[in-house]
């Protein structure tokens, strides 16, 4: 029997050490995750930091991945990539980071475990998640039925700039 595949959405963020290159290289690394295929990638966006303002602006993007991994297996793969890019976990929760890879959605699954909260707990308040998500998947609905078009139109773009 083949493992059923799931459509997952991953948020990418960086504000250190040439963040555009970090995000582009992270996309390449995600393309190499086993049992997974990148379906689409949003534009890159320049966004103001959420949280402490004494840090550089971020580069953010969202991509769509078809995967036959479980959510935890995908999390392991993403954390391996973060570590390869020199990310130090738990150092400064709201501070600057080389690379942040978050599972935003994993099919219609709702997960509340110690390691994983899906849908991502902050997604509905984050323009740098909602706007790229609506760009690549305008018909998307959250597991609770909320439409991405509704959420992304409601949020302030907060002077976010679309780069490419
Ligand atoms: N702010 C922006 N604009 N983009 C991010 O990816 C991001 N990530 C974070 C915090 C520190 C919350 N702020 C952010 O983890």
* Domains of the chain, first to last: 6-162 (3.30.70.560)
* Residue 59 pLDDT class (50, 70, 90 cuts): very high
Q: Is 115 a known active-site residue?
A: no
Q: How many whole angstroms from 38 Cα to the centroid of ligand 1? A: 23
Q: Which atom of ligand 1 is nearest to the CA of 95?
A: 11
d(CA 123, CA 39): 21
Q: Is 102 a known active-site residue?
A: yes
pTM: 0.95
- 25 pLDDT above the threshold of 70: yes
Predicted local confidence at residue 89, as pLDDT: 58
- 88 pLDDT above the threshold of 70: no
Q: Which atom of ligand 1 is nearest to the CA of 57?
A: 3
Buried b (16+ CB within 10 A) or exposed e, 38-69: beebbebbbbebeeeeeeeebbbbbbbbebeb
Q: Which of 35, 57, 97, 115 is catalytic?
A: 97
Residues enclosing ligand 1, CB less than 6 A?
13, 47-51, 58, 60, 94, 100, 128
Q: How many whole angstroms from 69 Cα to the centroid of ligand 1? A: 26
Report pLDDT digits (tens) over 7-23: 999 999 999 989 999 99
Q: Three-class SS of residue 32?
A: coil
């Amino acid at each position: 029997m083949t493992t059923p595949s799931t459509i997952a959405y991953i948020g990418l963020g960086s504000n250190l050490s040439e963040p555009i290159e970090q995000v582009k290289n992270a996309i390449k690394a995600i393309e190499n995750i086993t049992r997974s295929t990148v379906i689409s990638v949003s534009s890159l966006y320049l966004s103001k930091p959420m949280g402490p303002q004494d840090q550089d602006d971020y580069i953010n993007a969202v991509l769509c991945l078809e995967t036959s991994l479980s959510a935890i297996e995908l999390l392991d793969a993403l954390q391996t990539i973060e570590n390869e890019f020199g990310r130090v976990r738990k150092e400064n929760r709201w501070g600057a980071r080389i690379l942040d890879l978050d599972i935003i959605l994993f099919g219609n699954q709702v997960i509340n475990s110690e390691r994983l909260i899906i849908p991502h707990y902050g997604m509905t308040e984050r323009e740098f998640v909602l706007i790229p998500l609506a760009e690549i998947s305008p018909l998307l609905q959250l597991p609770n039925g909320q439409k991405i078009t509704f959420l992304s139109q409601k949020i302030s773009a907060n002077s976010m700039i679309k780069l490419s």
